[in-house]
Structure 1
């Protein structure tokens, strides 16, 4: 494997950069508490594994070569992000004192995180373009590929957990109805912005 430390740095910057997944983690932390973020974080991390596996197959090559396939996945991802934004915009303000267990079901959060990752075609092109640069063709491909993918997924879990902890520390500032409404509107606007950006993305 070539330049693993450089890949680690690049992946860390990529995961740490604000995006739809980060917004989802922050929203879940504020709305459902720290435990309510685990499903979504693991869903995003598992989604990275799936996207990486897809990128290693002929399907990944199809997405890279076919404008139709790219546009199909792109519009699906954009529509899902905009849907999340509209749903949050219309949701009532966060009520931290009234959290209930059924609101933060692990399966729902996991599926939401997984769907968010799988409907982002940019993730596929990230793996397609970045991985080959760090794999030594003179060594076994499978082990190198697995190491890079698992590193990326582990970074997702670690960095998103930090985001969730930060949100929990800061939620004391946002316990009012006004603060909850601001969080709703901010997260909704962010999701719709990312959806619009994805809809206009080019290969």
Structure 2
């Protein structure tokens, strides 16, 4: 599969970057504990599958036959990653609270995560502009599409689970300005780097 390792790295950086989903996972971990994050994480992962299916499928043939379409989407994707990185670097500190709350149901957390992902511009733009460029037009489209989408959803589960575990063990640090700033700036720099790499990629 064309540049699969690069896709893996870019997808991981996108999922890892602080956004609505990450904030929700961390907040749920601080409020409900590790078990209270499972429903939300699975909701976000399932939402990613839905967004991918509705956003990227129709672009496969276009990108395989049009150099112009590939070039335009490539630079749109690169510009978006750089923009997201700069915005993260310059954004105000996250204000995460660690106030205890009653345990919420799995169903409620799942719906919350699903709804959030379906309206998350980061995921939508990733599947519209970045994702299709890793499809090799000379190989089976459905196989590649399924593999990449499942990879992305798997990364969502793994990375958000790491966030949840880390949050429950580093509650004091995460709720501090220093902790939020460190996560935000590291993710910002990573996205800028991958945006630059994407801009230089060839079809």
TM-score (structure 2 length as normaliser) = 0.63
Q: CA RMSD in A?
A: 2.6
Give the 5 Å matches for 1:61-100.
Answer: 94-95=99-100, 100=102
Match of 1:139 in 2: 139
Q: CA deviation at 1:122?
A: 3.8
Task: State the alpha-carbon separation in 1 of the partners of residues 160 and 98 from structure 2.
Answer: 23
Q: CA deviation at 1:138?
A: 1.0
Task: State the alpha-carbon separation in 1 of the partners of residues 58 and 122 from structure 2.
Answer: 17
Task: State the alpha-carbon separation in 2 of the partners of residues 17 and 121 from structure 1.
Answer: 13
Match of 2:17 in 1: 17
Task: State the alpha-carbon separation in 2 of the partners of residues 131 and 25 from structure 1.
Answer: 24
Query: Secondary structure in 1 aligned to 2:107?
Result: helix
Q: CA deviation at 1:121?
A: 3.4
Give the 5 Å matches for 1:28-177.
Answer: 28-57=28-57, 94-95=99-100, 100=102, 103-171=103-171, 173=172
Q: CA deviation at 1:32?
A: 0.5
Match of 1:83 in 2: none
Relative to structure 1, the CA distance from residue 18 to residue 33 in structure 2 (aligned partners, 3 Å threshold; closer, same or farther) is same
Relative to structure 1, the CA distance from residue 49 to residue 123 in structure 2 (aligned partners, 3 Å threshold; closer, same or farther) is same
Contact 1:38 1:106 in 2 (8 A): yes
Q: CA deviation at 1:150?
A: 0.5
1:126-159 CA-to-partner distances (Å, cap 9, x unmatched) read 1121122111111111110010000001001001
Aligned length: 142
Q: Which runs of 5+ in 2 are unaligned?
A: 60-94, 181-203
Task: State the alpha-carbon separation in 2 of the partners of residues 132 and 168 from structure 1.
Answer: 36
Q: CA deviation at 1:57?
A: 4.9
Contact 1:131 1:145 in 2 (8 A): no
1:4-26 CA-to-partner distances (Å, cap 9, x unmatched) read 00000100111111111000000
Relative to structure 1, the CA distance from residue 122 to residue 93 in structure 2 (aligned partners, 3 Å threshold; closer, same or farther) is closer
1:83-107 CA-to-partner distances (Å, cap 9, x unmatched) read xxxxxx9xx9713xxx54xx32000
Q: CA deviation at 1:58?
A: 5.6
